[in-house]
Amino acid sequence: MLVAQISDTHILVPESDHPAAELRADCLRRTVVDINRQNPDAVIFTGDTVQHGQPEEYARLRDLLAPLEKPLYLVPGNRDDKKELSAAFSDQAYMRATGEFLQYTVEDYDIRLVGIDSTLEAERKGRFCEERQAWLDATLSEQPDRATLLFIHHPPFDVGDHYVGGYRQPDEARAPQVTGLLCGHVHWPVEREWAGTEARIMPSIAVDVRKGIDEAEARERPIYLLHQLSGESGLISQARRVGD
């Protein structure tokens, strides 16, 4: 299974006076074109989709994502307003089926997809309460032998000096069927082992806020991740520079 991951686009309305408003839109627009060329099975969006959580920003986000040819699965980031995000993508069944937390499973592929909500209003570093942990434990126990990919906005571990003292959940109990964990938030590319599986954090799509990227090599091109998944080989990831 091939999965494309995008994250932290921080989209603004066209009339915003922010100098990067059009730049961020263009980064996402070009990324969508490139993703379609790669023909993944699904696209995962790990949060901070817009900058202020406003309906107008989500309307623009929806327009920018409309050309995607493959199914899109979103989880919220700390910049997102879950009510407005759900309203903007209410045609997606997984959005309509959520309660207080925007988390869900996707059963349409050989690899099971589990989207996790790590957000709490006004909390930048995220939260993962006992209720959410219980949901995740129960979800994983339903199909203990089926390869599963988790995706969440906030990474459950420190990342250098950039993200320290976060929520430290979901806990590190090993679930052998989990083939990988995809995260956003930090805007920094990270690969590491976590809880017996492979974790990935991708840089922001928006070139004005991404970190840890060789800008001479990237030449202001958006970067996203492609993940090849299987129950046998696990998670193999590649950074894709738009235009290569």
pLDDT at residue 53 greater than cutoff 80: yes
**Interior/surface letters 179-193, b for 16+ CB within 10 angstroms, e for the rest:** bbbbbbbbbbbbeee
Can you tell me the mean pLDDT for 169-190?
Answer: 84
Q: Note the pLDDT of residue 86.
A: 94
pLDDT for the residue numbered 127 = 84
pLDDT in tens, 193-202: 988 899 999 9
Task: Give 221's contacts (C-beta < 8 A, 6+ positions apart).
Answer: 30, 207, 241, 242, 243
pLDDT in tens, 14-45: 999 999 999 999 999 999 999 999 999 999 99
Mean pLDDT of all residues in 84-108 = 89
- pLDDT surpasses 90 at 175: no
Residue 240, strand partner residues? 224
| Cα dihedral across residues 53, 59, 64, 67: positive or negative | positive
Domains and CATH numbers, the chain: 2-241 (3.60.21.10)
Give the pLDDT band of residue 140 (cuts 50, 70, 90).
very high
DSSP conformational letter for 114: E
pLDDT for res 98: 62
* Dihedral angle sign, alpha carbons of residues 232, 35, 66, 61: positive
Quickly state the pLDDT bin for 170 (edges 50, 70, 90).
low
Write out the two tokens for 197: 């599986």
